[in-house]
Amino acid sequence: MADAPLAAVVMAGGLGTRMRSTVPKHFHSILGRRMVDWVIETGRESGADPLVVIASPAGRDEFAQSSVTVAVQETPLGTGDAVRCAQVTLAGFDGDVLVLSGDTPLLTASLLRELVETHRREQAAVTILSAVPPDPRVYGRIVRDADGAVLRIAEGTDATDEERRIGEINSSIYVFRSDALWPALDQLQPKNVQGELYLTDTIEILVAQGAKVAAHIARDYHEVDGVNTRVELAHAGAVLRDRINEEHMLAGVTLSDPASTWIEPSVRIEPDVVIHPFTILRGATSVATGAEIHAHTVAIDAQIGANASVGPFCYLRPGTILGDSSKAGTYVEIKNASVGDRTKVPHLSYIGDASIGEDTNIAAGAITANFPHRHGEPKGRTTIGDNVRTGIHNGFVAPVEVGDGAWIAAGSVITTDVPSDALGIARARQENKEGYAARQRDE
């Protein structure tokens, strides 16, 4: 059985009423991923294939963009019924089946691999992932005999006073041998008027049959923490943030204040990048070696080149490409625009739907006005060449092109193309009316 295939079933059909939300708890986001997606990714990393998600009828379409198989639990009849919904999908699968809970985003692939290793070493029909937290709360307890063998799981709400004193809890994560799982599920009986079937009852069924039941105790009980409230959601987010930040720092990234730096797992950062406090990096953002991200910067799906300088107080929106040694400075917003190597947009500017060449300087207060003139038309694009010098408070009404080496006079709103090496001026000539202000005060 050492090389037995491994499948996974992820239970994600519950509503999570304690979240006080119309959104099912499994779909609440943590660091750019839905809670259940963290569990799915962990299942994949552990080597599970195929992977089946158990969803409610309302939630089946939530996985349309995921490469997982969905089995629908038409009526919420408990965890045992939920896992049984995967039986048709896994028909013919002969191996071990991980059963995962979609509300445990702190679970790691290394812990799951340890669980499977214990399961196969013990040649068990089922192995429970357990933990010993300082506060067992209402988790189910692992009941063992005098020799330490697992007998059953006592549900936290139904446990006796003696059972509640047991420190080892059930995480609701298991690995079953498939030939033991499906027959045990068939023997489940409802224990309440709702007709619910509890997966925990399979443990007692298998013990009664003389099958081997094992338990693997997690070294870090936090990994099996379930999320049921917004408070627990925030705690999980902080733990995941710290894990991601630690990984980057060990890989050569400097984080001045990790506790205030939020980096989504999809972000890629090369060594020798410096990131200052209150930075948020999201989506497919990438940061090349030598770049420095100053405080209060937000970047989403942005590409930041080597030795670039960003912020403070900068917003890089999707489609932003900053060249090597470029600068996007204070109170600068860039969207769907490329900024060439060594080009600077130092402060107080909005650059959207634009292409800016190399060695160009964009002075303070630049705005690319790209909204279409007629409804339904695509946004226009501003093109600014290499070695261009703009003045303060320039507007560029797209579509418009500024040639290489051109200058733009301060206060100009550019509506037509500016040739290379020309000076573009688009403003009224200044006129001074002598004594005007004094006359107004006298009146």
For the chain, the structural domain boundaries read 6-224, 252-424
CA dist., res. 177 & res. 34, Å (int): 29
CA dist., res. 211 & res. 126, Å (int): 9
Say what the pLDDT of residue 65 is. 74
347 is catalytic: yes
**Average pLDDT per run of 10 along the chain, which is 443 residues long?**
82 81 89 95 95 90 84 91 94 95 96 97 96 90 93 85 91 96 95 84 95 96 92 96 98 98 98 98 98 98 98 98 98 98 97 98 95 73 98 96 97 96 93 92 86
Say what the pLDDT of residue 374 is. 66
Helix 35-45 / helix 230-250 crossing angle, nearest 10 deg: 40
Assigned CATH topology for domain 252-424:
UDP N-Acetylglucosamine Acyltransferase; domain 1 (2.160.10)
CA distances from 274 to 218, 245, 290, 291 (A): 35, 12, 7, 7
This prediction has a pTM of 0.90
Catalytic residue among 347, 373, 375, 393, which?
347
Say what the pLDDT of residue 158 is. 78
Assigned CATH topology for domain 6-224:
Spore Coat Polysaccharide Biosynthesis Protein SpsA; Chain A (3.90.550)
Say what the pLDDT of residue 373 is. 64
H or E, element range at 401: strand 400-402
Tokens representing residue 8 in the block: 């996974």
